[in-house]
Structure 1
Amino acid sequence: RGIHEAGAEAFGAPPEGWTGKNYIGRVEQDCIPTESWAQFYTEQRVLPFARRANLHPEILQKVEKACGNIVKHADAPEFDVPPARIHGDLWAGNVLFSADGVVMIDPAAHGGHPHTDLAMLELFGTPHLVDILAGYGDPDVDFALHQLHPLAVHAMTHGSAYHRALGDAAAEVLQRYGN
């Protein structure tokens, strides 16, 4: 939570002083600062990966429509958060537990929505998730919405095993934010 509370200049803003590239795994991703979380998330996180994932046209269309609806609802209260400094690739393998505490490794740090990190932890089954969420006051995280990015990345990098999950997440987003 402390990392998220550190804030960021804008959505997509790299950490202060960082001039290098931003990666998720081995894949470069844009980090162009913007004032709109919905615009940043859809244009720099979800769509670039989904469009390179060799998805079935129906799934890609569903993802693109979900992204369009996210942008249409950019003023929704759940999107109206200040930019948080997020890890950006926060899955269980990047969280190390030791007697001295928790250490996070391999960041793709940028200004984003804190629920994106929480949703990624849930997606890939991190230990102690209940405790982590409790540390946030048990937030109402829209997991499907915030999992579109990691699912699109995995659909592109790991193939068809993630295509259905991405399509299902997009369908959930469409249900919540209109068809």
Structure 2
Amino acid sequence: MGTFRKARADAPAGFFETEAAGLRWLDVVGGPRVARVLGTGPTHLDLERIGSAAPTRAAARDLGRRLATMHDAGAPAFGVLAPGARRGFFGPLDDPLVLVDGAFDDWPTFYAQARLRPVVEQGRDRGVLDRDDAAAVDAVCARLGALAGPAEPPSRLHGDLWSGNVMWTRAAAPDAGGSAGDDGGDEPDGVAAVLVDPAAHGGHREADLAMLALFGAPHLEVILAAYDETHPLAPGWRDRVDLHQLYPLAVHAVLFGGGYVDQVRRLLESLAHR
């Protein structure tokens, strides 16, 4: 097994330790395979090197089932980080945004206080968002109770599950070791998904699925159907996809500006009057 090293000399304190803790926390029996942590320090993280393979429908179906199992492993509260994590981060290695963490009793409160209001302030600090954007976020936050759908317990989330953080590889042989996700489950064509680069926390399971849809994922409808068969999603979940995409889109607006800012503003306007 080869080693892949992520490194940044000036990484924020706790950045790599938090990523390692998240990977270990997501590694549950019956859940997806996650990149195995080989070592970590203040300026680096060593992971198993993962070979690439073409995604297949069978592997996508397997991923959907396993994501439901991972989510069902649960979390103590909304907003909690993985055990051993020092501080939450979201975004690229060269410019991650700090996440607000804590223990929130319900998802609307968590989303408002730990995601939407903080990210608009980060945008204002960078001169990307303005006072009107903050007011629009407040209007959406005031409606989260009505927008959120049925209450659910906190799930164990990857937290940044866009398609780039799902790698596809040849499934490990049964005697080759592996993560807890390698539980002998059926991978009929020998391909499996591997999760990398988490922003792991206790959150709403629809958020991970919305992230998969944000920039498109291979065989997305297969993944979603298998997930729904394993742990049915609440009625109206498709109508809430853009609500869960609001935060990652706002992060992209803060980090990259441009069309993401307009996209966030249009989404805020839609949600405020939905």
Give yes or no for TM over 0.5: yes
Give the aligned partner of residue 61 of structure 1.
135
Structure 2 gaps, min length 5: 1-67, 172-191
Q: Contact 2:120–2:133 at 8 Å: present in 1 too?
A: no
Give the aligned partner of residue 88 of structure 2.
22
Give the aligned partner of residue 4 of structure 1.
71
The alignment's TM-score, normalised by the length of structure 1, stands at: 0.87
Structure 1 gaps, min length 5: none
CA distance in 2 between partners of 1:169 and 1:127 (Å): 25
CA shift at 1:134, angstroms? 0.6
Give the aligned partner of residue 215 of structure 2.
124
RMSD (CA atoms): 1.9
Q: Contact 2:122–2:254 at 8 Å: present in 1 too?
A: yes
Q: Contact 2:80–2:102 at 8 Å: present in 1 too?
A: yes
Q: Contact 2:252–2:260 at 8 Å: present in 1 too?
A: yes
CA shift at 1:117, angstroms? 0.8
Q: Say if 2:138 is the partner of 1:40.
A: no
Report the residue type matching 2:211 in the other structure. Answer: M
CA distance in 1 between partners of 2:195 and 2:85 (Å): 21
CA distance in 2 between partners of 1:77 and 1:160 (Å): 28
CA distance in 2 between partners of 1:86 and 1:153 (Å): 18
Q: Say if 2:249 is the partner of 1:151.
A: yes
CA distance in 2 between partners of 1:132 and 1:88 (Å): 17
Count of aligned pairs between the two proteins: 172
Give the aligned partner of residue 170 of structure 1.
268
Q: Contact 1:85–1:111 at 8 Å: present in 2 too?
A: yes
Give the aligned partner of residue 107 of structure 1.
198
User: Could you tell me the percent identity over the aligned residues?
Assistant: 38
Moved more, 27-36 or 77-86: 77-86
CA shift at 1:169, angstroms? 1.9
Q: Say if 2:144 is the partner of 1:52.
A: no
CA distance in 1 between partners of 2:227 and 2:85 (Å): 31
CA shift at 1:56, angstroms? 4.7
CA distance in 1 between partners of 2:101 and 2:115 (Å): 9
> Could you report, residue by residue, the CA deviation over 1:112-151 in whole angstroms, capped at 9, with x for unpaired residues?
0011111111111121211111123274231121011101
Report the residue type matching 2:272 in the other structure. Answer: L
Structure possessing the higher radius of gyration over alpha carbons: 2
CA shift at 1:79, angstroms? 4.5
